[in-house]
Chain A
Amino acid sequence: MRRWEEVAVKVYDALALAFAREGTTDVFGMMGDANMHWINAMVGHGVRVYNARHEGGALGMADGWARSTGQPGIATTTCGPGVTQLSTTVMVARRARTPIVAFCGETAVGDDDDTQFLNVERYAAAVECGFVRVAKPEMAFDAVQRAFYLARSQSRPVILSAPEDVQRCEFDDEQTYVPAMRLIGDNRLAPSPADVENAVKLIGASERVVVVVGDGARRAAVGDLVLELHELTHALVATTLRAKNWLRQETDFHAGISGLFATKSAIELLQQADCVIAIGASMNRYTIEHGYLYPAAKYVHIDVRPHLTMGNGALADCYIQAEARLALVELNRALRSRPANGAGYHTTLVRDSLAAALKDPEKFDPEPGAVDPRDACRVIDEELGGDVGLVLGSSYQSGFGAFLLSKPRRDVLVNYGYFGAIGQALILGIGAVVGSGYRPTVVVDGDASFMMYLSEFETACRYHMPLLVVVFNDQALGAESHKSALYGLDPELTLIRTPDLGQVAASLGGRGALVREPEELRAALREFTDSPAPTVIDLRVARNVLSITDRRLHFGADV
């Protein structure tokens, strides 16, 4: 490592030092003229740099890394065209509220005629990013600190734009870097006693309580308190899509996902709620189905953020701005002295109804040589242990997984609904593998989505990642195929054949298999669990199997 006091310190050195002081351990990016000095300096600080094949892919990896670790992810690009490649993935990260700092090079200050010139500030605004420029050499530390402060405090991606000429200037090495966390501090927000009292009154007047837990609750590790709360109130537990399957194994009264991916039994039960206690969940329109999922319920909402407007446009009847653990400790303490109103949801009937909820009785005749995607989900759950992380994409076929993959897993990353962009699951999965310390991870995605960042599978191979991609391959744009039939359009126009993706994976340096039967899938999954390595299973799935959500949305089916 370069000794700070021995050589003339450049701004890129100072910038790298500041990133290291922020705790950066992994960077995802592509090298170019405008970030190569910084990358070299980062490596000098012992930071691992993962070379991606596309800047957008790199940012998606940083997104997956951040969602896995809870810390800001770091991506890097060169100037101009390197930056604009970020567009879709940075929007996804923004909508997922992922803290990311993207170190982006910039052409020399004032040289607007440079062929790679980009007005980065305007670009950042367009993609809903925070923006900080290293405007002067002496501002290097301030700029990094501000970028991390914005990323952490606002939970969003921030572009740190560093002009090439500024990067190569000398830096005053008398400065001391203060990490952004010291500005933010770790003060724990306690609930106000009046809010807790209001919540207790509201809950005490209710008979059917649902506790909806989101990613905020999962990250706060308050599972023990949530379970106590559900016992005290005889409540159902439901999760947001993002917290899918969390606590599922801990109670018989787990209703699964609150929202479109809820089972029929769960929806019928949730609609009877007269009180919803939301913990670390934004309660957006998808979680509460615009309010229709809980038409008669009062809401108690616990979150660290200032008062949130829910997806029905309303404010909670009782909002407790507090850290989840502190709020639940106080709430449970107050509720212990008040018996619940009757059995609530904790009855044999409810338990039996929920236990049978995931069975989909609808019969389809899959095309020859294709697997029913519902069977595939069952086999995946049976074969992959709970220690294998799960990353779900947002393709049509991933919807089967969002609905049916119910095995509790240590790590679950769901990307459904963030900007509605396909193509993200593989790159998020790569980041999640790195963030989890190389724990085996399965990505479940559709064929069109996987093909979009196919080149990044080679990145997974190059870094020997224990990453399995199960491509639910219907050789079509799945959602559009079904909608075309519905709208009287030509479904043939949605067909896009793929080659054998197992062979493609092998060519890129990994392993692969083409699978047309459930038992072939089982064998391929076992090969991965026996020896985790970069693997693609090209699972040919039946195109004519309609998802439950499609049957509801397009045919009004009571399923």
Chain B
Amino acid sequence: VIEINERLDIPAATAHVWRVISDPAAVVRCVEGAALDGPVDNGYLPVSLVVKFGPMRVRFTGRATLTLDERTHVGELAATGTDGQATRVRARSSFAVSETSPASAAVVIAGRIELTGKLAALIESGAAAVVRRMTKEFAEALSAACVAADGSADTVPPSQPGWMRRALVKLRRMWRARPRNVLEGQP
């Protein structure tokens, strides 16, 4: 089990930070090697992630759920996946965005990643180092994305395929419409 406990201080307003972090496509763009593999399916996002363990690339495919509490700016991301070689990964992390000044926010992330199967034995303690590196890269990319955010809530980059753009807009609206105490009751 790999634990993640990170605090990111981002020089952007809380609303902008929350907008980015509650946008699955934007978050995925901040994770190197991650991709959305299709439209939302029954509340789940099909995702894939290519991770470099040393020089070796391992591709995980799976699904993720993102639950958000708009009022408190707290969310949870849960994902499960496999790599096609009998290794399973389960990740669950919570995050909270809080204002530290009118122009800056803090994002506190706490999570656990559990890797079971053949890969776990193969990469030994290097996995934790890889996760640390990816977390750092994610923090930098997220920070840059938040700073660049222009405040347009439903703007999706035109580079996204049409079906994905429609799906993301639908997903975002769905999240806004449903009860938002989403840390409970989600798989």
Question: Which chain A residues have a beta carbon within 8 Å of chain B's beta carbons?
Answer: 264, 267-268, 271, 285, 289-293, 295, 312-313, 486, 551-559
| Shortest Cβ distance from residue A266 to the other chain B in the assembled complex, whole angstroms | 9
Q: Contacts of B128 on A, CB cut-off 8 Å?
A: 556
Interface residue SS majority, chain B: mixed
**How far does the alpha carbon of A313 sit from the alpha carbon of B86 in the complex, in Å?**
10
Known: A551-B54, A557-B54. 20 other contacts (CB 8 A): A268-B55, A271-B56, A271-B57, A285-B118, A289-B122, A290-B121, A292-B83, A292-B85, A295-B84, A295-B85, A312-B118, A552-B53, A553-B54, A553-B125, A553-B126, A554-B124, A554-B129, A556-B126, A557-B126, A559-B55
**Chain B residues with CB under 8 A of A556:** 53-54, 123, 126-130, 133
CB-CB under 8 A from B59, the residues of chain A are 295
Is B55 touching A292 in the complex (CB atoms < 8 A)? no
Nearest CB in chain A: distance from B70 CB, A: 36
Chain A residues with Cβ below 8 Å from B124 are: 553-554
Per-position contact with A for B77-117: 1 when CB-CB < 8 Å, else 0?
00000011110000000000000000000000000000000
Chain A residue nearest to B117 (CB atoms) is: A290
Q: CB distance B118 to A553 under 8 Å?
A: no
Q: Is the CB of B126 within 8 A of A558?
A: no
Contacts of B119 in A (CB 8 A): 290, 292
CA distance A293 to B122 in the complex (A): 11
Cβ contacts under 8 Å, A268 to chain B: 55
A395 to B102, CA, bound (A): 58
Residues of chain B lying within 8 A (CB to CB) of residue A295: 58-59, 84-85
| Residue interface mask B46-66, A partner, CB < 8 A = 1 | 000000111111110000000
Q: Which residue of A lies closest to B133 (CB)?
A: A556
* A559-B58 Cα distance, complex, nearest whole Å: 16
Given A556-B127, A556-B129, check contact A290 B85 (CB 8 Å): yes
Shortest B83–chain A CB gap in Å is: 8
- Within the assembled complex, what's the spacing in Å between the Cα atoms of A295 and B59? 9
30 A-B pairs within 8 Å (CB atoms) are namely: A264-B55, A267-B55, A271-B56, A285-B118, A290-B85, A290-B121, A290-B122, A291-B85, A292-B56, A292-B58, A292-B85, A292-B122, A295-B85, A312-B85, A312-B118, A313-B86, A551-B54, A552-B53, A552-B126, A553-B124, A554-B125, A554-B129, A555-B126, A556-B53, A556-B127, A556-B129, A556-B133, A557-B54, A557-B126, A557-B129
A107 to B103, CA, bound (A): 88
Residue of B nearest to A260 (CB): B122
- Residues of chain A contacted by B54 (CB below 8 angstroms): 264, 267, 551-553, 556-559
A289 to B122, CA, bound (A): 7
What is the bound-complex CA distance between A312 and B124, given in angstroms? 18
Least distance between B137 CB and chain A CB atoms (Å):
13
Interface size class, chain B: 20 to 34
Do A267 and B56 have beta carbons less than 8 Å apart?
yes
B50 to chain A minimum Cβ distance, whole angstroms, is 11
Chain A residues, CB < 8 A from B127: 556
A-B pairs under 8 A by CB, number: 68
The residue in A551, A554, A555, A556 that gathers the most chain B C-beta atoms within 10 A of its C-beta is A556
Interchain CB contact under 8 A, B126 and A289:
no
Nearest-neighbor residue (CB-CB) of A289 within chain B: B122
The distance from the CB of B156 to the nearest CB of chain A, in whole angstroms, is 32
The CA of A300 and the CA of B95, in the complex, are separated in Å by: 48
Kindly state the separation between the CA atoms of A312 and B118 in the bound complex, as whole angstroms: 9
B85 touches A558 (CB 8 A): no
- Given the complex, which residues of A lie within 8 Å of B52, measured CB to CB? 558
State which of B57, B118, B129 has its C-beta within 8 Å of the C-beta of A290. Answer: B118
A470: shortest Cβ distance to chain B, in Å? 28
Residues 136-150 (chain B) with a chain A CB within 8 angstroms = none
Give Cα A285 to B85, complex, Å. 12
**Cα of A332 to Cα of B35 in the assembled complex, Å:** 42
**Bound CA span A264–B54, Å:** 8
Which residue of B has the minimal Cβ distance to A266? Answer: B55
The 9 nearest A-B residue pairs measured at CB: A552-B54, A556-B130, A556-B126, A556-B129, A264-B55, A290-B118, A267-B55, A291-B85, A553-B124
A267 to B55, CA, bound (A): 7
- Give the distance in Å from the alpha carbon of A292 to the alpha carbon of B84 in the complex: 9
Contact with A along B30-58 (1 / 0, CB 8 A): 00000000000000000000001111111
Closest chain A residue to B53, Cβ basis: A556
Inside 8 A of A552's CB, which chain B residues have their CB?
53-55, 126
Q: Given the complex of chains A and B, what is the CA–CA distance between A264 and B53 in angstroms?
A: 11
The winner among B122, B128, B133 for most chain A CB atoms within 10 A is B122
Residue on A nearest B86 in the bound complex, by CB: A313
A294 to chain B, nearest CB (A): 10
- Chain A proximity of B60: nearest CB distance (Å): 11
Q: How many Å lie between the Cα of A293 and that of B58 in the bound state?
A: 9
Q: Which residues of B contact A293 (CB under 8 A)?
A: 56
Q: What are the residues of chain B within 8 A of A313 when measuring CB–CB? A: 86
Chain A residues whose C-beta falls within 8 Å of the C-beta of B85 in the assembled complex: 290-292, 295, 312
Cβ-defined partner of B125 (8 Å) among A267, A271, A289, A486 = A486
Name which residue of chain A comes closest to B52, CB basis: A558
Contacts of B57 in A (CB 8 A): 271
Give the CA-CA distance A291 to B82 in the complex, in Å: 14
Cα(A313)–Cα(B84), bound, Å: 12
Which listed residue (A285, A291, A555) contacts B129, Cβ 8 A?
A555
Q: How far, in angstroms, from A347 to B121 measured CA to CA in the complex? A: 35
Which of B53, B55, B118 meets A291, CB within 8 Å? B118
- Chain B residues with Cβ below 8 Å from A285 are 118
Q: How far is the CA of A205 from the CA of B58 in the complex (A)?
A: 24
- Measured in the bound complex, the distance between the Cα atoms of B126 and A554 in whole Å is 4
Cα distance, A553 to B127, chains bound together (Å): 8
A285 to B122, CA, bound (A): 10
> CA–CA, A486 to B52, complex, Å?
21
Interface residues of B in 169-184 (CB under 8 A from A): none
Min CB–CB distance A215 → chain B (angstroms): 23
Q: From A267, which residue of chain B is reached at the shortest CB distance?
A: B55
Nearest-neighbour CB distance to chain B for A513, whole angstroms, equals 36
Complex contact A289–B133 (CB within 8 A): no
> What's the minimum C-beta distance from B113 to chain A, rounded to whole angstroms?
13
A555 to B57, CA, bound (A): 15
Chain A, Cβ-Cβ closest to B122: A290
In the assembled complex, the Cα of A271 lies from the Cα of B83 at a distance in Å of: 14
